[in-house]
Amino acid sequence: MSFGKPKIVCFVCNWAFTEQELAVSRIRKVADMSVVRVMCVGRIDPVIMLETFIKGADGVLLVGCAPPDCHFVEGNVYAELTVKVLKKLLVLADLEPERLEVRWVSPVEEVRFTGIIEDFAKQLKKLGPSPLAKEKYDVNILEDVSAAKNAVADFRLRALIGKEKELTRSVNAYGERISQIEFNALLDEVVKAEFIRHKILVLARKKPFSVRELAEVLNIKPAVVLRHILNMRRKGMIALANIDGATPLYEALEVR
Amino acid sequence: MVEFEPKIIGFLCNWCSYAGADLAGVSRIQYPPNIRVIRVMCSGRVDPVIVLEMFANGADGVMVMGCHPGECHYLEGNLYAEWRIKMLKKLMACAGLEPERLRLEWVSAAEGSRFANMVKDFTNQLKGLGPSPLASEKPDETILASIRAAERAAGTSRLRTLVGREKELAEEENVYGEKVTQEEFDKLMDESVKEEHLRSRIYLLTKDKSMSVKELAKHLSVDTRVVLRHIVVLRRKGLLAMDRIEGISPLYVALEAR
Amino acid sequence: MADGKIGAVLVVGGGVAGVQAALDIADSGFKVYLIDRAPSIGGVMAQLDKTFPTNDCSMCILAPKLVEAGRQPNITLITNAEVTELSGKAGNFEVRIRKQSRYINEEKCNGCGLCAQKCPVEAVDAYNRGLNDRSAIYIEYPQAVPLKYMIDREKCIGCGICQEICRAEAVEYEQEDTETTLKIGSIILAPGFTSFDPRLKTEYGYGRFQNVVTSIEFERILNASGPYGGLILRPSEGEIPRKIAFIQCVGSRDAQLGNNYCSAACCMYSIKEAIIAKEHVPIELECTIFYMDIRAYGKEFDAYYNRAMEEHGVRFVRSRVADVGEDPLTSNLFVHYVEDGEPKTEEFGMVVLSVGMRPPENVEKLAEVLGIGLNRYEFCQTDTFSPIETSKPGIFVCGAFAAPKDIPESVAQASGAAAKAIAVIASERGKLITVKEYPPERDVSREEPRIGVFICHCGINIGGIVNVPEVVEHAKKLPDVVYAEENLYTCSQDTQVRIREKIRELNLNRVIVGACTPRTHEPLFRETLREQGLNTYLFEMANIRDQCSWVHMHEPERATEKAKDLVRSVVAKARLLEPLKKPVTSVIPVGLVIGGGVSGMTTALELARQGFEVHLVERAKELGGHLRHIYYLLGSENPQEMLRSIIEDVSENERIHVHLNTAIVDVKGYVGNFTTIIRSGGNEKQIEHGIIVVATGATEYEPTEYLYGIDSRVLTQRELEERLAKGQFNAKTVVMIQCVGSRNEERPNCSRICCSQAIKNALKIKELSPETEVYVLYKDIRTYGFKEDYYREAADKGVLFIRYDDEHKPRVTRENGKLMVLAWAPILKTWVPVEPDILALSVPAVPNANNEHLARMLKVPLTKDGFFLEAHMKLRPLDFATDGIFLCGLAHWPKPIEESISQACGAATRAATILSKKTLEVEGIVAHVDEDLCVGCGLCITLCPYSAIEKDETGIARVQEVLCKGCGTCGASCPKRAITMQQFTDAQIVAQGLAVLRGVVHG
């Protein structure tokens, strides 16, 4: 299917480009653009980025100042770490991670905004339209991205994103440094766990589910699902709804 | 319309159920905020009169919670609680208040979720029953009078002694060396509850103004002969006296209890 | 001072045994250091769901003891700690303790748990045996003592969130391990056991098959606060199993593994788990127990076993399971076993391995550091007549480390170890304990109520949901409230100072705290009141955390309303509070021990060693009791020699007054002040004493079965023993029949000692006359613990063990002078004839005929079987419900000598906790009788479970305050409503209710 202009939402750091640079008309030819100016890309909540996909964006682009030039010292570092986690989540949600990118510009490099957009539009064209942008959007992916969104809304992932730099580049509370490899392993585990749990939550809001049913839907081992269920119970996310014969069914608990 | 939120008074024993409620807290198990807990050392402490006083003052439900049978910190206080609740439910039925508004449950110190479930369940049940007729600004006067009579009945020696002796009578032999069967005992209890309730009603009615047997019979919708029989007993106990005779009807009046 | 004795004891291990020993010792006037390797005390018992044979909730009965241990001012808890060095000798040891860092300041942490909620790292929950996860900052279980969080350093990534969020500033990442040196007089070892690791029994598939779990994992699964919330789920996919197999003796009675001993408790806990499991699921659950012998040898255990079969439908299969396989598709398990000689396979949804007890971890190191001996299984080395002493003087042992055992035996032995530990340092009583001085109590009786209210934010635990300032404002408007404020933590030290200031400044005479639960925090605030000269009963708590903010997190407004209601409710009560006096009674420091057998003598000796005078009353004309008929033991000790030495000790001890040929005629009084009349010959004598120990023993059953008394070749085991000992034995063939007169309709329970007795005699026969054939006809061989070795030895020496069941009881006939025994051979399915020269009957110990009489005199209960019934079968095995009366030995239940001695020492300790005090002070919440209203109907007397009410001369009920425990059942039943339960009066309770219902407090 041919795919005209990809829908791009671009969050641009207030300090990166001037109004005029952003208003170049050529951009409109390659993409259906929305530009959102923010004080610092490091301040964009990851929830908003995923929400943007849910609303039907084909791609989300963050443009900010290159690492040493951040007006807010480290906002860009935080943005990069956030995007890293979000990409992991997009993979889990079956949405191409290339739909989310972050670009750094530096005043000394003289990068043009149009160039950045053209490159990104090209990348998106290769991918085709987002499965959530179509009229008949993919319900499963929508659910997955919603789950991912809820996962980044939750304290646990946000805490890890917020602490990554300090822990890996400086020292932790015990004065030790955690290697990037170690941290990535932990992050992968947590991202996956949180995604699955929020996926379970999305499912269990619709009707009570058994471990087996969930395992089938999620395509993971029932024993693993059970473990997640136990953790979710501990955290007050779900509760036992009823027992059907020998099968306990679990339901989502509303807001914590 | 705002959904009806029942007011529940919970009497929890210190050792098991109160600890169970604490565990529900520690485990952050959510339940409806309708219950107000009053801590007592043992469910056996809960005097039937106190329970009825709660209803008279508009409680939509009362929950008594104790240790599971055999686990009472005080050996068997919970058994007495069970017998008292049984008696109370009978009294409530006599008084025209749904006995389901009173519940006895066993919750151990390890059963935080059981506690939460019990409260949830009872709250829902009471929502189904609707507000107590005594809960509003203007309580149903007939039922209130009847509950007050029940309260008085629950304070009488007869009912209190019967409840207190249930274990002895059921498990051991009575003074004649006979064993009373549970059935016999229940029957005796039923009768006693009805009689004491009726007597208390007569007593309380004649407290406000002197009344004749006929008036009382009409008011209470019972046979005059029954009323008369109770009046005889009440007079014998020094609780009632003849006030005056109007026409051919003697009028009776309650005496202050000594 | 270098050689002087030190009035302090180190207790190693904070399980139920260690805690009991610590409480007993501290209660007797000595300082205790209680150390545990874990972050909280409680041991294995805290992990259990229910306990047999009463099915009591384990945590419910244990938690109060743990809380008491945490609160006792003379017990110092040292958690995460172990002993690294020991020097000195009995009476004066120096010990080094290494304490692992918690990374939490224990002084500051108030256990609110916010850190655990926010910790981003999850770790496997070892407390729940890996069945679920917890956060990296954690407590082991919600009721943990001490309630102090700990960081799992292995898992923690050091993100710093817990420190940022902790309002109490308790997180200290820089905290290091510490070492301390303690000076102590004696040591008690109660390190407990570890479970056998079933991975070593590869054939059962543990670790490979998800649905094969251990019994301790299964306890956690059953537990309502366990990983599955009390539902039984298959770890493979969270479904409820329909069939569960329990496999017994995993890691026990296993010569291949070198664990030949029996772990003593597994049969019973498996039966319990099977019964409870059936109660915990909403579907029909089949439970099958695969066993070799069911060892239900304890008090009323067989009755429990029978109920499991008959009422609960638990199936028992006598077979050693060969191996377990798995269906990879369904994760179901195949159990392969042999029954009646035939190999069988059965499919189950779950398999529970009843894992045995192993010595505690690092036991060699512990033994080396302390210099104590271990037995061949690496449990602590002990002897029959010194079951509590280790090989090193001044170091004692109790609980499972001495030998695998169940809870009540551990508790009894712990009290016993306390006696031994105290005896070493008896002269130092009271020297190292702290007695706090308080200002005189202010008389508030004439004052109008002046209430101060302190509402706690609990960090954000309360304040995050409940609008605390609003609650404070509400409180200020309530009648008699003269002051109200909010605190970040009302329980913190600086707030205590503040409360005291406010009491002084504003002349407050009632204090209310709106915070967490009075069950844990009331004592703290009461102490604050007392320090400021206010009566401690002028205090109330509103639980606005556990009952409000934590359970109504989504409804902050209604939670706030409820918090106001709860505060208003206690204000209404507080207005009616009155100062209470704690009843005090004097104590006569003299003991009365009834029964002069080995138990009674031991108790008397232990009491005397602690410095108390004792009257030892014996009905017979000489001391010794049952032990006089025991000539040899399974081990090498000589019982008659030991008996002589004990009698000598008793006779020589000037503090012990022995009364032989003496009966108890009358007992009057109560704890601390008993008066007993004893009669010897025609002379009556009166004794004044503070406690009573019942050690009256038991009687041997005189059989009517199997031609006993008719044919002179039919003997009891005791008679056989006498012949063997006196060289009068001569027989080619001996048949022994077990369970004669026990485990039947009339006496359903096991007599515990007869199996060992039979094996002892069988071994003696093989020793004296190896050619003699010995047949033992049995139902189950119950040689629990290390006695299993002797069973094996007997079998190795050719003693033939033939099992019978109730349908195939042995038949004994005499024809033409020939004694003939027919024994059923189950595998051959036929009756086998044997012609014995001696037929020995194993008969039970039965209760003494006069138990009932004595029980009535003492107002203590008996079991259905007629043995004395203790206050609580699990945790108070040596006490009666009535204070000041204790129990030990065969009067409690049949038991071997070493257990009687342990119990006897324990009873002495329990008694000494009373005798060591000049006066007894008890809780002030007691019943009060209005003499004008009481008509003397006596109903309260029948209702009181503690015999605390009696009629006085005028026929009016009178509460013996020191005995009253404050339950209030009497008052709620009193026909005349003449009894008031202080601190919980009708008026107070009603005021609480009305304040809630009417929304106002009425003046």
Domain end: C801, C827, C846, which one?
Answer: C846
Decide if B86 touches C, using CB distance below 8 A.
Answer: no
**B30 touching A, CB under 8 A?**
yes
Q: What residues make up the domain containing B227?
A: 156-254
pLDDT tens, position by position, C219-235: 999 988 889 988 999 99
Flag whether pLDDT at A256 surpasses 60.
no
- Please give, rounded to a whole number of angstroms, the shortest distance from the CA of C879 to a CA of chain B: 14
Structural domain tally of chain B? Answer: 2
- In degrees and rounded to multiples of 5, residue B163 shows phi and psi of -60, -45
Residue C440 included in any domain: no
**What pLDDT does residue B173 have?**
67
Q: Cα separation of C951 and B138, whole Å?
A: 47
Structure confidence by residue, pLDDT tens digits, C274-330: 999 998 888 999 999 999 999 999 999 999 999 999 999 999 999 999 999 999 999
Indicate whether B183 belongs to any domain: yes
Is the pLDDT at B140 greater than 50? The verdict is: yes
Chain C neighbours (≥3 Cβ pairs under 8 A) are A, B
Q: Which of A212, A223, A255 sits opposite C554 (nearest CB)?
A: A255
Looking at the structure, tell me whether residues B38 and B104 fall in a common domain: yes
Interface with chain C: mutation pick from B8, B26, B51, B144, highest number of C CBs within 10 Å: B26
- In this prediction, residue A33 carries a pLDDT of 87
Contact B44 C977 (CB under 8 A): no
Domain boundary, last residue among B94, B114, B129: B129
Q: In B, residues 126-185, which contact A (CB 8 Å cutoff)?
A: none
Identify whether residues B117 and B19 lie together within a single domain.
yes
The verdict on residue C41 lying in a domain is yes
CATH of the domain at B225: 1.10.10.10
Distance set, CA C902 to CA C64, C388, C603, C898, C908 (Å): 24, 7, 10, 6, 10
Q: What is the CATH number of the domain that holds C599?
A: 3.50.50.60
Q: End of a domain among C875, C904, C920?
A: C920
Q: Is residue B139 part of a domain?
A: no
Is B47 an 8 Å CB contact of chain C?
A: yes
CA distance A22 to chain C (A): 39
Inter-chain residue contact C225 with B27, CB threshold 8 Å: yes
Q: Residue B26 is nearest to which of C142, C224, C967, comparing CB atoms?
A: C142
CB C903 within 8 A of CB C410: no
**CA–CA distance, C233 with C235 (Å, rounded to integer):** 6
**Is residue C903 within 8 Å of C571, Cβ to Cβ?**
no
B83 touches C: beta carbon within 8 Å = no
- Chain C residues 160-219 within an 8 A CB cutoff of chain A: 160-161, 163, 173-174, 210
Name the residue in chain B with its Cα closest to that of C58. Answer: B110
pLDDT category of residue A108 using cuts at 50, 70 and 90: low
ipTM for the predicted complex comes to 0.94
Is the CB of A174 less than 8 angstroms away from the CB of C229?
no
Residues of chain A with Cβ-Cβ distance to C240 below 8 Å are 243, 246-248
User: Tell me, what's the pLDDT at C3?
Assistant: 60
Domains observed in chain A: 7-127 (3.40.50), 154-252 (1.10.10.10)
pLDDT digits (tens, 9 = 90+) for C330-369: 999 999 999 888 899 999 999 999 999 999 999 999 999 9
pLDDT at A1: 44
**Percentage above 70 pLDDT, chain C:** 100
Cα distance between residue C751 and residue C749, in whole Å: 7
pLDDT digits (tens, 9 = 90+) for C33-76: 999 999 999 999 999 998 998 888 888 788 889 988 998 999 99
pLDDT in tens, C892-929: 999 999 999 999 999 999 999 999 999 998 888 999 99
- Statement: residue C416 has pLDDT above 70: yes
Residue C996 domain flag: no
Asked if residue C428 belongs to a domain, the reply is yes
Burial of C672 (0-12, 13-18, 19+ CB in 10 A): buried
Residues C162 and C203 in one domain: no
Whole-number pLDDT of residue C526: 94
Out of B9, B18, B47, closest to residue C986 by CB: B47
- Among B94, B129, B164, the domain boundary falls at B129
Q: Judge if the upstream peptide bond of residue A67 is cis by omega within 30 degrees of 0.
A: no
**Higher per-residue confidence, C418 vs B249:** C418
Decide if B108 and C518 are in contact by the 8 Å CB cutoff.
Answer: no
C467 & C491 share domain: yes
Model confidence band, residue B1 (pLDDT cutoffs 50, 70, 90): low
Q: Choose the final residue of a domain: C574, C609, C638.
A: C574
User: CB-based contact (8 Å) between B26 and chain A?
Assistant: no
pLDDT tens per residue, range C146-182: 999 999 999 999 999 999 999 999 999 999 999 999 9
Asked whether residue B213 is assigned to any structural domain, the reply reads: yes
- Based on the domain organization, do C202 and C351 belong to the same domain? yes
pLDDT of residue C801: 96
| Conformation bin of residue C947: beta by default, left when phi > 0, alpha when psi is -120 to 50 | left
A149 backbone dihedrals φ, ψ, rounded to 5°: -60, -45
Nearest chain B CA: its distance from A167 CA (Å): 31
Q: Is the same domain home to C121 and C245?
A: no
Q: Cβ separation of B28 and A236 shorter than 8 Å? A: yes
Above 80 in pLDDT, residue C437?
Answer: yes
Number of structural domains found in chain C: 7
C439 occurs within a structural domain: no
- Chain B: partners with 3+ C-beta pairs within 8 Å: A, C
Concatenating the DSSP letter of every residue in A106-175 gives: -TTTT--HHHHHHHHHHHHHHH-S-TTTSSS--HHHHHHHHHHHHHHHSHHHHHHHHHHHHHHHS--TTS
Residue C205 and residue C335 in one domain: yes
The nearest alpha carbon in chain B to C564 belongs to: B36
Q: What is the DSSP letter of C780?
A: -
How many B-C residue pairs are in contact by the CB < 8 A criterion?
Answer: 199
Average pLDDT over residues C441-465: 93
Q: Which of A163, A174, A217 to mutate to test the interface with C (most CBs of C within 10 A)?
A: A174
DSSP string, C612-645: -EEEEE-SSSSSBGGGGG----SSS--HHHHHHH
Task: Quote the Cα angle for C993-C995-C1000, to 5°.
Answer: 160
What is the average pLDDT across C989-1001? Answer: 92
Is C761 a residue whose pLDDT tops 90? yes
Chosen for mutation from C159, C174, C236, C551 (greatest number of chain A CBs closer than 10 Å) is C159
Do B59 and B168 lie in a common domain?
no
Compute the nearest-CA separation of C631 from chain B (Å): 42
CB contact under 8 A, C553 and B54: no
Partner-chain contact A246 C240, CB within 8 Å: yes
**Alpha-carbon distances, residue A7 vs A33, A83, A141, C393 (angstroms):** 6, 19, 18, 85
In a shared domain, residues C429 and C530? no
Residue with tokens 């008085």: B152
Q: Which domain does C473 fall in, by range?
A: 451-574
- Give the model's pLDDT for residue A137: 84
Q: Which among C724, C701, C714, C726 is positioned nearest to C841, based on CA atoms?
A: C714
Per-residue pLDDT of A153-195, as tens digits, reads 999 999 999 999 889 988 999 999 999 999 999 999 999 999 9
Answer whether residue C148 is part of any domain: yes
Residues C211 and C295 in one domain: yes
B79 is a domain residue: yes
Closest Cα in chain A to C230: A240
Indicate the pairing of strand C845-847 with strand C698-700: antiparallel
Interface of B with C in 141-180 (CB under 8 A): 155-158, 160-161, 163-165, 168
List the CATH number of the domain containing C977.
Answer: 3.30.70.20
Scanning every residue of chain C, which has its alpha carbon at the shortest distance from the alpha carbon of B67? C60
B150 within a domain of the structure (yes/no): no
Instruction: Return the bridge partners of C8, or none.
Output: C31
Q: Compute and round to an integer the Cα radius of gyration of chain A.
A: 20
Highest-pLDDT range among A9-18, A40-49, C47-56, C660-669: C660-669
Residue C998 in domain: no
> Are C542 and C474 in contact, with CB atoms under 8 Å apart?
no
Instruction: Say yes or no to pLDDT of A72 above 80.
Output: no
Residue range B20-30: mean pLDDT, rounded: 89
Q: Which residues of C touch A171 (CB under 8 A)?
A: 158
Residues C734 and C835 in one domain: yes
Chain A residue numbers with beta carbons less than 8 Å from the beta carbon of B24 are: none
Q: Is residue B151 part of a domain?
A: no
B166 shares a domain with B85: no
pTM of the model: 0.88
% of chain C at pLDDT higher than 90:
86
CA atoms within 13 A on the CB side of C89: 4
- Of the listed ranges A63-67, A98-102, C409-413, C491-495, the one predicted with least confidence: A63-67
- pLDDT over 50 at C384, yes or no: yes
Q: Which of B216-225, C788-797, C819-828 has the highest mean pLDDT?
A: C788-797
CATH of the domain at C546: 3.40.50
